[in-house]
């Protein structure tokens, strides 16, 4: 069994087709007729443009957005100017001129301050490779005409590769590189295909034509699976399909219990591209947009304008539904190279998130200004992470007011009454919930860190992972304290940790009075189904019983008993 990172859930069976990047040795040749060579280049370029245009005609949603931007790049005359100049002035062959000409453009893009533009270097490299492939008359696998039940394996799939994929005949995707927010992962989730990334040397280990099974949930890949393995995966797949059909009934249902208690089911997302999944799963808003996507995997800090454009895009797409955006939350397990953060003995207890931002106005202010400006285009709310005291919250609010005055002086629009909330992820805040709730507009309980700080267990430490549990009685009591404190102050309380989408915990959270459940978009329909089956009064009784328990195992057992009654 081979292990990677599951980025799109589902089970896939099929035969492998390996896409290997061509390694070419491009030689420099002097040609007699530069006009003829220039014509060869233009013909190859036009063929690539025509292919892309055909793909764009059939594209919809996220795929259309990606391919429209890609086509605009290749139609820009400045992209080919250097190549054309070399062919004319130096009389070199088109292959060599394309390689060197495009590489000079790629280098310029890679060195740009604008992160979006720097990220386009990979798209330009893809266009270059496609043109050179045409010049060499290379025969590539026709990705639009694959055999049924194909498992695609590649080092990485380029924008053009992904757009050309014959999704109806693909059973799964395996790549060596790429994360949850890569084009490949996004498109796999859009087409409901299992996908596994970060499989080291996949193109060398796996073989063309080999029969494999993949699990996009946990990242497992089985080469020539045994009958037992296949049957186990078929059971998982069958349950997945049956559940999917069942959940369609809840797509347009209200998120309320049998006795009328309404809650909001919203989504956690990592990039603007995930909004399509949010809308597809009929979430009622976004309970957590992690703003780190603008800062991570970049050599430079994003500008205010870059941030503004990203937040504005999400706000507009959500069409008035609330979008809660968390300010920069780095440190601990999330480092950013260019911030030059010092190594700490206990990074999870150190200089991170709001602590870092309050000390660095050059980081914090551009983000707050961008969030305020974007609020003029939709229902944006600002959320501060890692707040541990009322004093910290007050300092953060002062920065917001300073930014508002600056924007007023500049004549820039923003939502005057924008909501300000905090993550409840440190026990100190859960304990003083009633007091700190008077200073903000909403809470969102971050259970992932709240558990870690309550039971003193680093969640990534496998040796003590058995001690890390969302069912710990102390964690349950802190959740209750947070909800009660919020309600006494007249504000709403949500939850954006993994616990919000936990089937066992949902009845308890309803009983405790949680107002908003924020989760992975793919969990929305299942959570709505569960909530529709609940009775609020019965959930309140469950909460009363669980708050009297003293051990994690007792809590979990009681939740399982209740779950059996409603399923």
Identify whether 191 is a catalytic site residue: no
Query: In b/e form, how buried is each residue of 330-363, taking b as 16+ CB within 10 angstroms?
Result: bbbebebeeeebeeeeebbebebbbbbbbeeeeb
DSSP letters spanning 469-506: -TT-HHHHHHHHHHHHHHHHTT-EEEE-SGGGG-TTHH
Antiparallel, parallel or unpaired: β 170-175 and 516-519: unpaired
What ranges in 414-469 are assigned the alpha helix state H?
A: 427-431, 433-437, 447-455
Rg (CA), the chain: 26
Distance CA 372, CA 364 (A): 12
- Which residue(s) pair with 18 in the sheet? 153
Q: Which residue in 238, 207, 22 sits closest to 131, CA to CA?
A: 22
Q: 357, 403, 493, 496: which one is catalytic?
A: 496
Three-class HEC string of 104-166: HHHHHHHCCCCHHHHHCHHHHHHHHHHHHHHHCCCCCCCCCCCCCCEEEEECCCCHHHHHHCC
Distance CA 70, CA 412 (A): 32
Q: Considering 42, 183, 357, 440, which one is annotated as catalytic? A: 183
H/E segment holding residue 423: strand 419-424
**Residue whose C-alpha is closest to residue 444's, from 384, 391, 501:** 384
Indicate the DSSP class of residue 342: P
**Catalytic-residue membership of 496:** yes
**Distance (Å, whole) CA 442 – CA 494:** 8
Distance of alpha carbon 172 from alpha carbon 220, whole angstroms: 12
Tokens of 22: 């061509």
| Share of the chain residues as helix, strand and coil, in percent rounded to the nearest 5 | 55, 15, 30
Diameter of the chain measured on Cα atoms: 90
Total residues found in the chain within this entry: 567
Q: Please give the structure tokens belonging to residue 362.
A: 């050059």
d(CA 126, CA 145): 21
**Catalytic site residues?**
183, 496
């Amino acid at each position: 069994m081979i292990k990677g990172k599951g980025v799109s859930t589902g089970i896939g069976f099929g035969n492998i087709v390996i896409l290997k990047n061509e390694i070419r040795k491009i030689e420099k040749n002097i040609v007699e007729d530069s006009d003829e060579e220039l014509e060869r280049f233009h013909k190859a370029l036009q063929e690539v443009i025509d292919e892309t245009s055909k793909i764009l005609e059939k594209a919809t949603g996220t795929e259309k957005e990606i391919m429209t931007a890609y086509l605009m790049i290749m139609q820009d005359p400045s992209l080919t100017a250097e190549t054309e100049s070399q062919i004319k002035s130096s009389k070199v062959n088109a292959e060599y001129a394309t390689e060197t000409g495009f590489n000079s453009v790629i280098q310029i893009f890679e060195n740009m301050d604008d992160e979006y533009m720097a990220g386009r270097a990979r798209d330009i490299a893809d266009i270059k490779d496609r043109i050179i492939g045409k010049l060499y008359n290379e025969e590539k696998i026709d990705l639009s005409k694959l055999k049924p039940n194909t498992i695609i394996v590649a080092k990485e799939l380029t924008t053009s590769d992904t757009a050309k994929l014959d999704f109806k005949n693909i059973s799964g995707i395996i790549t060596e590189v790429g994360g949850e927010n890569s084009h490949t992962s996004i498109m796999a989730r859009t087409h409901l295909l299992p996908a596994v990334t970060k499989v080291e040397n996949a193109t060398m280990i796996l073989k063309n034509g080999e029969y494999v099974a993949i699990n996009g949930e946990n990242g497992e890949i089985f080469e020539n699976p045994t009958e037992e393995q296949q049957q186990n995966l078929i059971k998982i797949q069958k349950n997945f399909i049956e559940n999917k059909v069942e959940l369609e009934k809840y797509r347009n249902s209200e998120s309320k219990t049998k006795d009328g208690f309404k809650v909001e089911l919203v989504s956690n997302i990592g990039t603007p591209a995930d909004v399509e999944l949010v809308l597809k799963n009929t979430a009622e808003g976004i309970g957590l947009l992690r703003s780190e996507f603008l800062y991570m995997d970049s050599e430079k800090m994003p500008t205010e304008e870059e941030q503004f454009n990203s937040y504005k895009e999400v706000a507009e797409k959500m069409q008035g539904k609330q979008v809660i955006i968390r300010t920069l939350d780095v440190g601990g397990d999330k480092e950013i190279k260019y911030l030059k953060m010092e190594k700490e003995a206990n990074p999870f207890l150190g200089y991170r998130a709001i602590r870092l931002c309050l000390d660095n106005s050059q980081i914090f202010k551009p983000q707050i200004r961008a969030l305020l400006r974007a609020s003029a285009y939709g229902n944006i709310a600002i959320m501060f992470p890692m707040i541990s005291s009322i004093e910290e919250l007050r300092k953060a609010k002062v920065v917001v007011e300073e930014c508002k005055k600056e924007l007023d002086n500049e004549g820039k629009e923003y939502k005057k009454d924008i909501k300000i909330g905090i993550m409840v992820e440190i026990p100190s805040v859960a304990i003083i919930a009633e007091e700190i709730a008077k200073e903000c507009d909403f809470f969102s309980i971050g259970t992932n860190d709240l558990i870690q700080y309550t039971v003193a267990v680093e969640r990534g430490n496998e040796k003590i992972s058995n001690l890390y549990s969302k069912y710990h009685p102390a964690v349950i009591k802190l959740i209750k304290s947070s909800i009660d404190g919020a309600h006494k102050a007249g504000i709403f309380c949500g939850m954006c940790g993994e616990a919000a989408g936990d089937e066992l915990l949902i009845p308890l959270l309803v009983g405790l009075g949680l107002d908003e459940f924020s989760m992975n978009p793919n969990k929305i329909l299942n959570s709505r189904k569960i909530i529709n089956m609940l009775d609020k009064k019965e959930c309140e009784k469950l909460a009363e019983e669980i708050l009297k328990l003293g051990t994690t195992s007792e809590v979990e057992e009681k939740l399982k008993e209740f779950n059996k009654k409603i399923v």
